[in-house]
Amino acid sequence: MRLTGSYEKLGELNCFIPNKLPPDPPFVMHDEIVQKLIDTAFHLGRLNEMSRRLPNIDRFIKAYVLKEAMLSSEIEGIFTTLADVFTIPTSEQQDHDTKLVLNYTKAISTAVSTVKNDGFPIVTRVLLKTHEELMRIDESGKSSPGEFRLQSVRVGDLIPPPAFKVPSLISEWETFVNQDVSLNELIKIGLAHVQFETIHPFLDGNGRMGRLLIVLMLVNSGYVDSPILYPSYYFKKHKTIYYEKLRNVQLSGDFEGWIKFYLDAVKESSIDAHDRAKEIEELEKNLKAEIVNSEKFSRIREISLLVLSEFFDTPMLNIGSLSEITGKSYNTVKNVIEVFQVEGIITEKTNRQRNKLYCLDKYLKILEK
């Protein structure tokens, strides 16, 4: 058993204060962990290499960030669908949970841009800005968007560190993330996640922030060029074990058990993201071939390919939006939509007379399955 922290009385509360990383005694690189590390790095590299060959990487970033946002949010009991997310720009009624998921996508985009494009290390300024984006929907201010908590909280049967300790603990966390070279970077990212969750620096959104940071650190460390994987896929599928492994670190210092689970999560999500991208590529290739080769598209081939491309960017659209995006007349786009419907490429989803929404179902099903 490894001691990972100490308890400190604060009034009637017995708060847990985690020791700074790296672990002491040192993290043990068992043969099983070494093999998992090799496998995970291989599949991350395979995913990243494929992403560099994609003709439209931004499309996959958008879709995969949405998928990670949805899965991470579902772990916290926040539920929506990809259809809801994709229709929100044209919807008059914006569902609360859908807004939260969209906040997640903005938060991770902001964070990645800050560390990758602006060259910032992952420090307090980045954490606070990211949290502000994540929790922007909270008009009441109860979750204190963009601010560390100023009061004590309880997580299950654990009471995280007192609020006044949070800035110094996060400062130690920053030093480990940005300066420690004693451990493999993939291991470091996994340890940083569990430490962040133990510190629990915010009133709300800590779980989503911690999982977002895994993706951010993978990008920052160069394992992937863009946020094109979704480890929450695995965490959600094994939610009970996920929380159990995190808790075992705090109770008995089992960092090794957590890291094995975390590496499986990154590997499996890398494989899934890679395979899903290939399915999407194949679907687009087949639909393009149908448009190019079918006589039914002979007079509208060029605009049909343009409209199809827009559906792969946003799989739920209306004619007005497509007309604006493509720069083609409403009637021209309407003609294409009618042929797409007859050929089973898209379906109409709203059953209304005006402002109808059309969906590229086959693409959405690949993302959702």
Residue 345, SS3?
coil
pLDDT, average across residues 121-144 = 85
What are the CB-based long-range contacts (under 8 Å, 24+) for 259-263?
A: 259/27, 259/33, 259/187, 259/190, 259/191, 260/32, 260/33, 260/36, 262/190, 262/193, 262/214, 262/231, 263/33, 263/36, 263/37, 263/39, 263/40, 263/186, 263/190
Taking only the tens place, the pLDDT of each residue in 241-262 is: 999 999 999 999 999 999 999 9
Span 284-337, pLDDT tens digits: 999 999 999 999 999 999 999 999 999 999 999 999 999 999 999 999 999 999
* pLDDT above 50 (res 103): yes
Residue 98: band (very low, low, confident or very high) from pLDDT cuts 50, 70, 90: confident
Distances (CA, A) of 138 to 205, 206, 268: 11, 15, 33
CA pair distance 332, 99, nearest whole angstrom = 33
pLDDT band with cut points at 50, 70 and 90 for residue 138: low
Element (H, E) at 131: helix 124-134
pLDDT at 143: 77
**369: helix, coil or strand?**
coil
Q: How many angstroms separate the CA atoms of 271 and 169, rounded?
A: 35
Q: 294-368 is classed in which CATH architecture?
A: Orthogonal Bundle (1.10)
Record the tokens describing residue 336, joined without a space.
């294409």
Span 102-108, mean pLDDT? 93
> What value does the mean pLDDT take over residues 167-184?
97
The yes-or-no verdict on residue 125 having pLDDT over 60 is: yes
Superfamily of domain 29-273 in CATH is Fido-like domain (1.10.3290.10)
Other C-beta atoms lying within 10 Å of the C-beta of residue 181? 7
Q: For residue 114, how far is the Cα from the chain centroid? A: 16
First-to-last alpha carbon distance for the chain, in angstroms, is 41
Per-residue pLDDT at 54 = 87
DSSP annotation of 28 reads: P
The answer, yes or no, to whether residue 199 has pLDDT greater than 80, is yes
Positions of CATH 1.10.10.10 in the chain: 294-368
Helix (H) or strand (E) segment spanning residue 358: strand 358-359
Determine the Cα–Cα distance for residues 90 and 317; give it in Å rounded to an integer.
Answer: 8
Tens of pLDDT, residue by residue over 248-298, are 999 999 999 999 999 999 999 999 999 999 999 999 999 999 999 999 999
Number of DSSP helices (H) and strands (E) in the chain, helices first: 15, 5
What pLDDT shows up at residue 337? 97
Percent of residues, the chain, with pLDDT higher than 90: 84
pLDDT at residue 141 in the model: 57
The C-alpha atoms of residue 110 and residue 126 are separated, in whole angstroms, by 9
Main-chain phi, psi angles of 199, to 5 degrees: -65, -40
User: Which is more confidently placed, 113 or 351?
Assistant: 113
What is the model's pLDDT at position 156? 86
For residue 243, CA distances in Å to 158, 235, 265, 268, 321 come to 12, 9, 13, 18, 43
Residue 207 has pLDDT above 60, yes or no: yes
Residues of the chain with CATH 1.10.3290.10: 29-273
Look-up: residue for tokens 């039914």? Answer: 296
User: Exposure string (b/e) for 203-223, b if CB count within 10 Å is 16 or more?
Assistant: bbbbbbbbbbbbbbbbbbeeb
